[in-house]
């Protein structure tokens, strides 16, 4: 499956994922702690520099990912423009852009496997509470494997629908799609069971 990682390798790819996530969290807290348009403007400019340092192609891909925010920017512009609080509106816009772009930057420069490792480390304390990190790893792999399969089945179902109907299918295919997902779940449960199910793995990595 396509992930949102960058099309090009950048300097930031070589930074440890945990460090990037930590810095990003601190920066995000700081962004939401201030109202000062000057500080927020400087932050947004800094994030823009971050994207620029990774090259033009990377920066374009990053800009595309900010596009879904436009309805909110329009909303802020209208609201604050009409009520005359322009400075507050500018501050909000800068904070929104900086925070989202910074988080996207971390996502774009971190491989999925590195992210999963960080998640496993963060979730390790929950192991004492009985959370099976093994079950979690398997579940993550299952979702990655089945999302394209379900999307493809949705496509096949809507073709089967259109072959006998002049109208486009909508919600009508959700029920057969859910039924297919459930049948798949039964097969997957068998496939897991055939190879040992969710057995806890003995700690063999430490020895060798």
Partner 1 sequence: MERSIALVALFAALIAGLGFIPKFTLAFGVPITAQSLGIMLCGTVLGARRGALAVILFLLLVALGLPLLAGGRGGLGVFASPTAGYLVAFPIAAFVTGWIVERWRGNLAVVGAVASVIGGIVVMNLIGAVGLSIVLGKTYVESLLLVTAFIPGDLIKAVLAGLITASLAKARPASVLSRA
Partner 2 sequence: MAPVDRPDDLLRLEDLRVAHDGCDVLGPLTLDITARRTGIVGRNGSGKTTLARVVAGLQAPTAGRVTISGIDPAKDRRGALDRVGILFQNPDHQIIFPTVEEEITFGLRQQGRSKAEAAAAVTAILTRFDKLHWRAAATHSLSQGQKQLVCLMAVLVMGPRWIVLDEPFSGLDIATRLQLMRHMARIEARILMISHDPESFAGYDRVIWLEGGALREDGPAAPVLARFTAQMRHWGDADDLSHLAG
The answer to whether the beta carbons of residues 118 and 18 sit under 8 Å apart is yes
- How many residues bind partner 1, per CB under 8 A? 69
Asked if 160 touches partner 1 (CB under 8 A), the answer is no
Candidate residues 47, 50, 61, 76; the one interacting with partner 1 per rule CB under 8 A: 76
Report the nearest approach of partner 1 to the CB of residue 185 (Å).
4
The Cα 26–Cα 124 span in angstroms is 22
Q: Residue 79 interacts with partner 1 (CB under 8 A)? A: yes
Instruction: Give CA angle at 95 (94, 97), nearest 5°.
Output: 65
Rounded Cα–Cα distance for residues 77 and 40 (Å) = 17
Identify the helix (H) or strand (E) that includes residue 147: helix 133-162
Residue 10 interacts with partner 1 (CB under 8 A)?
no
- Which partner from the list partner 1, partner 2, none does 14 bind, CB cut-off 5 to 8 Å by kind? none
Do residues 108 and 61 touch, judged by C-beta distance below 8 A? yes
CA dihedral for 53, 14, 29, 67, sign (positive or negative): positive
In the complex, minimum distance from the CB of residue 34 to partner 2, in angstroms, rounded to a whole number: 42
- Partner that binds at residue 163, options partner 2, partner 1, none, CB closer than 5 to 8 Å by kind: none
Nearest Cα residue to 51 out of 102, 17, 110, 97: 102
Interacting residues toward partner 1 by CB under 8 A: 1-5, 21, 24, 28, 32, 65-66, 68-69, 72, 75-76, 79, 88, 92, 96, 99-104, 106-108, 110, 112, 115-116, 119, 135, 138-140, 142-144, 146-147, 149-151, 153-154, 170-171, 173-175, 177-179, 181-186, 188-190, 192-193, 197-198
């Amino acid at each position: 499956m396509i992930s949102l990682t960058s099309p090009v390798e950048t300097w930031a790819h070589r930074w440890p994922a945990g460090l990037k996530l930590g810095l990003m969290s601190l920066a995000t807290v700081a962004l939401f702690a201030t109202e000062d348009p000057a500080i927020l403007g400087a932050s947004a400019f800094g994030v823009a520099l971050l994207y620029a340092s990774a090259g033009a192609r990377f920066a374009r891909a990053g800009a595309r990912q900010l596009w879904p925010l436009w309805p909110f920017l329009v909303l802020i512009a209208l609201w604050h423009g009409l009520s005359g609080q322009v400075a507050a509106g500018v501050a909000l816009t800068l904070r929104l852009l900086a925070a989202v772009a910074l988080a996207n930057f971390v996502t774009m420069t971190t491989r999925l496997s590195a992210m999963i490792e960080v998640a496993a480390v963060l979730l390790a304390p929950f192991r004492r509470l009985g959370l099976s990190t093994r079950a979690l790893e398997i579940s993550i792999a299952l979702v990655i494997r089945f999302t394209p399969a379900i999307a493809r089945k949705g496509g096949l179902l809507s073709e089967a629908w259109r072959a006998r109907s002049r109208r486009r299918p909508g919600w009508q295919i959700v029920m057969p799609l859910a039924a297919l997902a459930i049948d798949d779940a039964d097969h997957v449960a068998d496939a897991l069971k055939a190879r040992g199910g969710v057995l806890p793995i003995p700690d063999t990595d430490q020895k060798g």
